[in-house]
Amino acid sequence: MPYSQFVLVCAGTACDSCQSREIYSRLTAAVRSQGLEGRVQVVRTGCFGFCAQGPVVKVLPDETFYVQVRPEDAGEIVAEHLAKGRPVKRLLYGGAGRAAIADIPFYQKQFRIVLRNCGVIDPENIEEYIAREGYEALATVLTSMTPEDVIEQVRISGLRGRGGAGYPTWKKWTFTKNADSDVKYVICNADEGDPGAYMDRSTLEGDPHSVLEAMAIAGYAVGAHQGYIYIRAEYPLAIHRLEVALRQARELGLLGRDILGTGFDFDVELRLGAGAFVCGEETALIASIEGHRGMPVPRPPYPAVRGLWGRPTVINNVETLANIPVIILKGGAWFASIGTETSKGTKVFALTGKVNNSGLIEVPMGTTLREIIFDIGGGIKGGKRFKAAQTGGPSGGVIPESFLDTPIDYESLAKLGSIMGSGGLIVMDEDDCIVDVNKFYLEFTVDESCGKCAPCRIGGRTMFNLLTDITEGRGTVGHIEQIHTVAHAMQKASLCGLGQTAPNPVLSSLTYFGEEYRVHIKEKRCPSGRCRALVTYTILADKCIGCTLCARRCPVNCIRGERRQPHVIDLSRCIKCGECFKACKFGAVQRS
C-alpha cells in the first residue's frame, strides 16, 4: 500500500541543533506504536528556510505547517493529526488561523528554483530526487543535446554567477570549452565564507544531487571529466550529505564511467577548505585544492584558460549550479522570463539580523528590499526602527531606508554602492552603530587578508586603525580624508577581490551615514551607545526611585545607593555594559 500521509521534519543545521533529530525518532516511534507505518512516512528533509520558527515539521498532503515543535509534541501530532485528522492547533504558525504554508506571509512572496527540493525531499535518498525530475536534465543533455546546445540554453537563460560578481555563466563555460587542452576541470565553489550567509550550506544539505547533476552537465558542456567540490570543513552535515549523494549517484551509474550508457565519463571528488575567506577567490581556491596556502595570483590568465594544475577550469558557485538542471528542463527562455532586464531568475538570501523572521528565502530578482524585510521578514524585531540593510558582507555595503524600494538586481545594488554578493542580507536597527559594524567588517578582512599584496595587507590595517580611533574618541576630520585615500589605493592596487572590495562597507556607510561618523568625531558621541569609549551612563536623581534593580544587575557592583534613595554610578569603575540602562523601568539611567 502506498503512503497516504507524509511527515517532513526539517533536518537543516538550525533545526538539527534544536533537537529535530529527536523529534524525528519520536515521530517514527509514535507512528509505529499507533500502527500507522504502512500509511504514514516520516522523512528528514533539508532546510525549510523558516529558521526563526524552527524546528519545523510539515504534514502532507494537507500542507499543515507546525513550528517550534518540541520532541514531547511528537506523540500528539501522530495521535491527533495523523490518526484522527485533527491538526494540533497550538503548534500552528500564528495560532489556529494559519494552517498551510500558502497562508504564511513568509512564503507568499517567495519563488523557489534553487531551493525547489529543500524541505521537500530526503536529501540522503537519491530516489526522492529522481522522483522530482532529478537527473532528467543530465539524461536529456547526454542523449539529445550537443555541448553547444547546452551552453546556448544557459546563454538564453541569462544566468549570472551567484557567488557575488555576477559574471555570465555561459561565458565562463564557453571560454573553458574553447580552451585547448585534453584535460579540463569543473569546480564547485562551496567555500561560503561571508559571515552571516548560509545559502550554499542549506542547498547542499537539502538537495546535494542538484549540484552533482549540474556539475556533470557543466562537464559535458566544457569537455571535462573530473569535478571537485571545494567545501568548508566547518560544514560537517553538508559534507556528509554530499558523500552519501556521491556514493548513491555512482551506484546508479549517474556519475563515474559511461554515465547512462552514453559513453560520457564524469566523477566528482570533495576537497575540504580550512577556514580561509580568501579561498572564495578563484585563484586562491585553486591554490588551496592543490594543497598550498590559499593565495591568489594575478589574472589573466583566467582559470578558464589556466586553472587547476594548469588546466582549463570552470568554477561555479553552488547556487549558480543548482539553477542549471531547471534551466535545461524548462528551457533558458522560461528562466529568462523571471527577474529583471539584466538579472534573471531568483536569488537566495540568508535574511538575518534584527528582523522578525530570520531564515533562508528565495525571491525573484527585482523584488524590493522592503518586500523582503517587511513582508517576508515580518519587519524589525521588538518594534524598533529600521536603520540599514547590508548586502554582500565584507565586500558589500549598507542600504538606508530611503532606498528600500529599490528592486534587487546586480546593477541597482551596485549603483547604491553595495553589491549583490553571495546572499547575506543583514538587517540593522537603531541600536546598531554604523561605525562599529564597519569596524567589525574591516577587522574581518584584515584577519582574512592573505598578506601577499601590500595594498590589502597594509591598507586594511590602516583603515581599521582609523576606524578604531573614531570609535574611541580620537577621530579628527583628517581621519575621513585618510580613509578615502587609503580606500582608493586598495580598490585600485589590490591583487584580488578581497582587497579591492574591502573598503566598500566603509565607503557606502560614509555616503549614507556620514552624519553618524561626524557625531563620533566632532561630538565624541555614539548615538546608539555601541562604542563604549564614547558613552557615559549616569542616573538622574529626580527620576530614580531607588528600586535597586540597576545596582543588582550591575556586573561590577559600581552602583551605590540606599533603597528608595537616588542611586549613583561610580564612573571610575563603570565598564559601560549598559545593563543598568536596559534594566531601569523609570528612564532614570541616562546614556550620553
Partner 1 sequence: METNEPITALPDRTIELPEDLSRFIEEWKTRPGNLIMVLHRVQEHYGYVPRDVAFEVAARLDVPLAKIYGVVTFYHFFKLRKPGRHQIAVCMGTACYLKGGEDLIKELETILGIGLNQTTADGEFSIEAVRCIGCCGLAPVLTVDGQVYGRLTKDQLADIVAKHRGG
Residues forming contacts to partner 1 in the complex (CB under 8 A) are 13-14, 16-18, 51-52, 54, 192-198, 201-202, 233-236, 271-277, 288-294, 309, 350, 352-354, 358-360, 390, 393, 424, 426, 428, 432, 437, 440-441, 444, 450
Cβ at position 268, least distance to partner 1 in Å? 15
Cβ at position 402, least distance to partner 1 in Å? 22
Terminal C-alpha separation, the chain? 71
Residue ranges in 290-392 assigned as alpha helix (H): 318-330, 332-336, 369-370
Comparing CA positions, the residue from 582, 523, 585, 517 lying closest to residue 554 is: 582
Comparing CA positions, the residue from 432, 434, 403, 413 lying closest to residue 509 is: 434
Amino acid identity of 183? V
For partner 1, the closer of residues 345 and 421 by Cβ is: 421
For partner 1, the closer of residues 353 and 366 by Cβ is: 353
Using N-to-C axis directions, what is the helix angle for 454-471 and 434-448, rounded to 10°? 150
Cβ at position 17, least distance to partner 1 in Å? 3
Asked if residues 395 and 419 have their Cβ atoms less than 8 Å apart, the reply is yes
Comparing CA positions, the residue from 72, 74, 68, 73 lying closest to residue 92 is: 68
Q: Cβ-count burial of 201 within 10 angstroms (0-12 exposed, 13-18 middle, 19+ buried)?
A: buried
Quote the CA–CA distance of 364 and 112 in Å, as a whole number.
8
For partner 1, the closer of residues 320 and 438 by Cβ is: 438
Cβ at position 411, least distance to partner 1 in Å? 24
For partner 1, the closer of residues 219 and 424 by Cβ is: 424
Quote the CA–CA distance of 193 and 419 in Å, as a whole number.
16
Cβ at position 321, least distance to partner 1 in Å? 19
Residue ranges in 450-554 assigned as alpha helix (H): 454-471, 477-493, 497-501, 504-522, 549-553
For partner 1, the closer of residues 173 and 464 by Cβ is: 464
SS3 state of residue 487: helix
Cβ at position 432, least distance to partner 1 in Å? 6
Quote the CA–CA distance of 54 and 456 in Å, as a whole number.
40
- Give the DSSP letter of residue 423: S
Cβ at position 372, least distance to partner 1 in Å? 15
Quote the CA–CA distance of 224 and 118 in Å, as a whole number.
28
Cβ at position 357, least distance to partner 1 in Å? 9
For partner 1, the closer of residues 219 and 423 by Cβ is: 423
For partner 1, the closer of residues 30 and 115 by Cβ is: 115
Rounded to a whole number, what is the largest CA-CA distance in the chain? 88
For partner 1, the closer of residues 14 and 554 by Cβ is: 14
What are the Cα distances from residue 445, in Å, to 164, 217, 468? 16, 35, 15
Cβ at position 139, least distance to partner 1 in Å? 31
Q: What angle do CA 405, 406, 407 make, to 5 degrees?
A: 110
For partner 1, the closer of residues 343 and 508 by Cβ is: 508
